[in-house]
Structure 1
C-alpha cells in the first residue's frame, strides 16, 4: 500500500472511581515503528470499507455549544499549532462531548495524518481495547491488551486535500455512525462542529430508482433490463469491496451501448445524482432482488424469477411460488407429520 504517515499520537480516556471520564494525554508523537505503520494501514483499510459512514461539512454558522474543532484544525493546517497541541485540544473537546451525551466510552484516542496516492487525510477516533491470551517465548500464558480495529465505533476522517481545494464539497468529512445510530451521529456532528453533507443512503436509493425508471421508460426488453441491472450491481459490489466510489459514467457504461449516454443525462436532469458517491450494500441489493419483511414473514428472491417461478396477483395480494427450496420443503414436510 502506498501510504505515507506523517504524524501519529495516542491519548487515553479512562473512567475514574467516581464514574467520570478523564483524559491522559501524551506529550510525544509515536515513532513510526513497524507496528505503528501496520496499525495505521489497518485503520485506513477498515475505514475505507465501512459502509455505515455518514458525510458532513463544517457548519457555516456555528451554533451555541458547537466545538472549536474547525478552529483547531485550521491552526494546524496553517502551521500556527503543532500536531500534538492540536490532538490534545481536540481530545479535551471529545471528552466534553462524551460527558454531555452520557457516552461512557473508555479507550485510546488516536490521531494520525497520512497520505495515500496524493491525498492527505486526518483520521481520528476512539479505539476500544480488549484483553486476549497470548503464549510467551518461554511457553507461559499472559494477558495482553489489543485493538480490535474491525469493531471501530467512534471514528472520523477528514480529506484535507478536498477540504482545501474544494471547500464547497459536501463530503470532505466523514464519520462512522456506530452502534447507537442517531445518538452517535448527533454526538459526532457536535464534536466536529459540523452538519450533514452528502446523504450516501439517499444517493444509492436514487440510483436504484433511476435505473428501474429508465428501463421502464425506455421499454427495455426484460432480459436486457435484468442484465443491465446485474452488471450495475456487480460493478457497485466491486467498488464497495475496494472502498471506492460509484462513478455514474461507469454505471452508464453497464447499460446497452446505445442507451449509455441517455442514461447519464437522465440521472443528471431527472434525479440530480452526484457524479460519484460511496456505495451502500443494502440499497443496491434491490437492483436484482425483491426483498420484504413484516408480520413474521421475510421474503427475498431474484428479480428474474418474477413471472417465471413466482407470480404475483395484485387483486388478491398473493404470491404463488413454484419449486420450493429443498431445505424449506424438508422443514414443511416434517411439520406436516
Structure 2
C-alpha cells in the first residue's frame, strides 16, 4: 500500500462552544514505518465500520468546492499540501457552523492499493493513557484512538477519473449519532448517496437464492456455494472492495464460471457489475435446507423468528407469508 502523500492537520475545537483553532501543516508527513502503520490501521478500522454509504460528488459549486480542489491536485495544478490546507479550512468552517462535534487531527492520505489510487480523509480523536519509559518511569501519553473513528471518507480516484458515470466512487461513514452528526462531513466532501449498499446486497442474496432454487442443487452443494458466497463477500468488505459479480460467478462454479453472472443479468435484477456489499446484511445471511420423504425446505436464516417460527419441542415449523404461487397450487389441488 504505497503512500504517495500524507498530511496531518489539527482542529482544536472543544465542546464548550469556544471558537475552533486550526493548526495547518506546512509539509507532508515524512515516509516512516509509523505513517505506514497508521494508514494500515486506519484502513482496517474503516473497512470494519458498518453503516457506510456509497455515492458520488455533487457538481462543483460554492457550497461544494472540495471536488474542484481535488481535481486541481489530480491535474497537477496544485500540490498536495495546498490542496489539503484549502480543504481543512473549509472543514473547520463547516464544523463551526454545525456546532455538533469536537475537533481532532485530520489526516489526508493519498495512496495506491494494487492498481487503484485512493484518497482517505479521516477526523481522528486521541485518548490519554500512560507509558513506561526506558528508565522504568510511568509517564502520561496520548495516542490516536481508531476505535472512535466516526467521521471518515475514502475516494476511489481511479474510478472517479476513468468512469464519469459511476455513482459509487466515494464511500463515507454515516455515523452512529444520527444524520446531523455526519451531514456536515458529507457536505464537506460534497457527495450524495448513489448506491444503496444494504439494498444492493439484499438483491444479490435474493438472486443467489433464486439461482440455487433454479439449479435444484443437492443440499450439501447448496450449502457449499452459500459458504463460498459468504466467505467471498466478507473478504471483500474486509478489504473495503466491492463484490465483483464476474469474480463471484467464477468462484461459485469453476466448470461454468459465467453461469451465475449470466443468470443475474438475464433475470434483470438491476445489479451492477460491482456491488458495495453491506457487512451487516451479509452476516445475517445463511440458508437452512433439508429434504426428506418428498419434502424439500430451504430458507434464509434471517427469516427464522420472523416469517418462520420453529417449535423445538414439537419439531415443527410455522411459515407465514407462504409464496402466492405455492398457495395457488395447493388451492387448485384441494378443489380437484
Which residue number in structure 2 is paired with residue 133 of structure 1? 130
Structure 1 residues 292, 15: CA separation in 2 closer, same or farther (over 3 Å shift)?
A: same
User: Is the 1:14–1:21 contact (alpha carbons within 8 Å) kept by the matching residues of 2?
Assistant: yes
Select which of 170, 174, 177 maps to 2:171: 174
TM-superposed CA distance for 1:176, in Å, is 1.7
- 1:251-290 pair list within 5 angstroms: 251-255=248-252, 261-269=258-266, 270-284=268-282, 285-288=284-287, 290=301
Which residue number in structure 1 is paired with residue 318 of structure 2? 313
User: Is the 1:14–1:24 contact (alpha carbons within 8 Å) kept by the matching residues of 2?
Assistant: no
TM-superposed CA distance for 1:286, in Å, is 1.9
Which residue number in structure 1 is paired with residue 326 of structure 2? none
User: Is the 2:5–2:28 contact (alpha carbons within 8 Å) kept by the matching residues of 1?
Assistant: no
Select which of 243, 246, 263 maps to 1:246: 243
Say which SS state the counterpart of residue 195 (structure 2) adopts.
coil
Structure 1 residues 78, 5: CA separation in 2 closer, same or farther (over 3 Å shift)?
A: closer
Backbone CA RMSD of aligned residues: 3.4
Which residue number in structure 2 is paired with residue 34 of structure 1? 33
> Which stretches in structure 2 are left out of the alignment for 5+ residues?
288-299, 323-336
Which residue number in structure 1 is paired with residue 291 of structure 2? none
Aligned equivalents of 2:246 and 2:312: distance in 1? Answer: 32
Select which of 117, 122, 130 maps to 1:120: 117
Question: TM-score of the superposition, structure 2-length normalised?
Answer: 0.79
User: Is the 1:8–1:113 contact (alpha carbons within 8 Å) kept by the matching residues of 2?
Assistant: no
Say which SS state the counterpart of residue 42 (structure 1) adopts.
helix
User: Is the 2:101–2:181 contact (alpha carbons within 8 Å) kept by the matching residues of 1?
Assistant: no
Say which SS state the counterpart of residue 29 (structure 1) adopts.
coil
Deviation sequence 1:161-180 (CA, Å, 0-9, x none): 22112222222211122222
Which residue number in structure 2 is paired with residue 190 of structure 1? 187
Say which SS state the counterpart of residue 135 (structure 2) adopts.
coil
TM-superposed CA distance for 1:259, in Å, is 7.2
Aligned equivalents of 1:246 and 1:139: distance in 2? Answer: 50
Question: TM-score of the superposition, structure 1-length normalised?
Answer: 0.78
Which residue number in structure 1 is paired with residue 52 of structure 2? 53
Aligned equivalents of 2:263 and 2:208: distance in 1? Answer: 10
Aligned equivalents of 2:121 and 2:17: distance in 1? Answer: 27
- 1:1-337 pair list within 5 angstroms: 2-15=1-14, 18-60=17-59, 62=61, 66-255=63-252, 261-269=258-266, 270-284=268-282, 285-288=284-287, 290-291=301-302, 311-314=316-319
Aligned equivalents of 1:102 and 1:267: distance in 2? Answer: 46
Structure 1 residues 164, 14: CA separation in 2 closer, same or farther (over 3 Å shift)?
A: same
Aligned equivalents of 1:162 and 1:256: distance in 2? Answer: 29
User: Is the 2:15–2:102 contact (alpha carbons within 8 Å) kept by the matching residues of 1?
Assistant: no
User: Is the 1:13–1:109 contact (alpha carbons within 8 Å) kept by the matching residues of 2?
Assistant: no
Deviation sequence 1:103-125 (CA, Å, 0-9, x none): 22221111122222232222112
User: Is the 2:207–2:269 contact (alpha carbons within 8 Å) kept by the matching residues of 1?
Assistant: yes
TM-superposed CA distance for 1:26, in Å, is 2.3
Deviation sequence 1:192-243 (CA, Å, 0-9, x none): 1221122221111111111122333444445543333233223223333344
Say which SS state the counterpart of residue 227 (structure 1) adopts.
helix
Which residue number in structure 2 is paired with residue 326 of structure 1? none
Structure 1 residues 306, 196: CA separation in 2 closer, same or farther (over 3 Å shift)?
A: farther
Structure 1 residues 117, 254: CA separation in 2 closer, same or farther (over 3 Å shift)?
A: closer
Say which SS state the counterpart of residue 125 (structure 1) adopts.
strand
Say which SS state the counterpart of residue 128 (structure 2) adopts.
strand
Aligned equivalents of 1:165 and 1:156: distance in 2? Answer: 20
TM-superposed CA distance for 1:155, in Å, is 0.8
TM-superposed CA distance for 1:254, in Å, is 4.9
